[in-house]
Amino acid sequence: MFRFITHARVLLFLFFLAATTSCNAGRDPLSDGATDGSRFRTPQGGGDEISASRQNAITKAVEMVSPAVVGVNATVVQRRYVDPFYRMFFGDQYSLMPVLGSGFIISADGYILTNDHVAGNAEEISVTMTNREKIPAKLIGTDPVTDLALLKIEVDHDLPFIKLGNSDDVIVGEWSIAFGNPFGLMSTSAKATVTVGVVSATHVSLDENEGRVYRNMIQTDAAINSGNSGGPLVNSLGEVIGINTVIYSPNQGSVGLGFALPMNRVKQIVAILKADGKVNREFNPGFRVQLVNEAIAQAYNLVRPEGAIVTQITARKGVAARSGLEVADVILKANGEPVYSISVLEGLIRYGLRGEDIELEVLRNNEKKKIDLKLE
């Protein structure tokens, strides 16, 4: 009897289960009874709201800046290596070499900034615009020391240009956006490549390279590769804070160490190049120094060997003599930077512009004093 009742209950349960399943056949188990797909339908205008939410300061800066970024195509004359034996008969041999870089328009009438190592020694220069147009460019002036070149293109209409920012106002950790023409991609796509990072450091000084003095550079981890040279480094307001110039890399690719010329120095050089075509740095420092060693440090009661001692004033009308620098002065700092090598002084003097001062902290007769080394 018990088995019969149990079997009856099982059959009744299966009957109700089958009826329920057949009633729900064809329905989406997640639709809560809705068969018109309304559960998954985007509310009116929702797509626009989602799209708008993706817009931010970075995308707005990219939209603002991109039309003024150009690819720079230069042809430079390069001396080829020739065996000394053949050079006696045929002389030096030269060849034309294409160079690809980046640049950006800084005025509606067609002035363009790029690096000297991109276009400074070029025989021919053209720029690729974002509308695929290639326009011949003229070299207005160049400054190899700061690695800056000013170009000009002639067009019959106003051009989009980028606002120049204040590099003294840069904040370490703020967004930085690098634009450019890596590996010449802009020549085919007519679109500037964009990479984003942060300002990693400011006031970075690098070793001189082929006569170029890189001081007060802005460091960024935004990816900068071969071909990005001369492109703008921009903040989240769409203002140029520097010009992408140097990378540290074992393979010509980005490893997160890129450096840009600070825009405030660039503005000073641009004004000179527009007026004169070159930067005149033919001032005579008029002194010689050697690094302080252990013996000199003991004689001057220094805790450790530091600074450079003036060994000779070489010109009565040189910069040093006019500024009051004397033999036996120990130069401890220059513009607030410790003089740990003679290259610090040499770099500051070569980087300087006519009329500028280099503030020296010197030790004379066991007293520290300030001397303004006026570059003129």
Active site residues: 117, 147, 229
Distance CA 97, CA 79 (A): 10
Phi and psi based region of residue 203 (left: phi greater than 0; alpha: psi -120 to 50; beta: remaining): left
Integer angstrom CA distances of residue 358 from 84, 240, 304, 314: 45, 27, 24, 19
Please report where in the chains the tokens 């060994």 appear, as a residue: 311
Taking residue 88's Cβ as centre, other Cβ atoms within 10 Å add up to: 9
Q: Is 320 helix (H, G, I), strand (E, B) or coil?
A: helix
Element (H, E) at 333: strand 330-334
Distance CA 223, CA 362 (A): 41
Q: CB of 101 within 8 A of CB of 119?
A: yes
Please report where in the chains the tokens 């641009």 appear, as a residue: 270
- Of the CA atoms within 13 Å of residue 332, those in its CB half-sphere come to 15
Q: Is 54 helix (H, G, I), strand (E, B) or coil?
A: coil
Of the candidates 160, 257, 269, the one whose C-alpha atom is nearest the C-alpha of residue 212 is 269
Q: CB of 308 within 8 A of CB of 345?
A: yes
Interior CA angle at 271 toward 279 and 206, to 5°? Answer: 55
Strands 175-180 and 134-136 come out as: unpaired
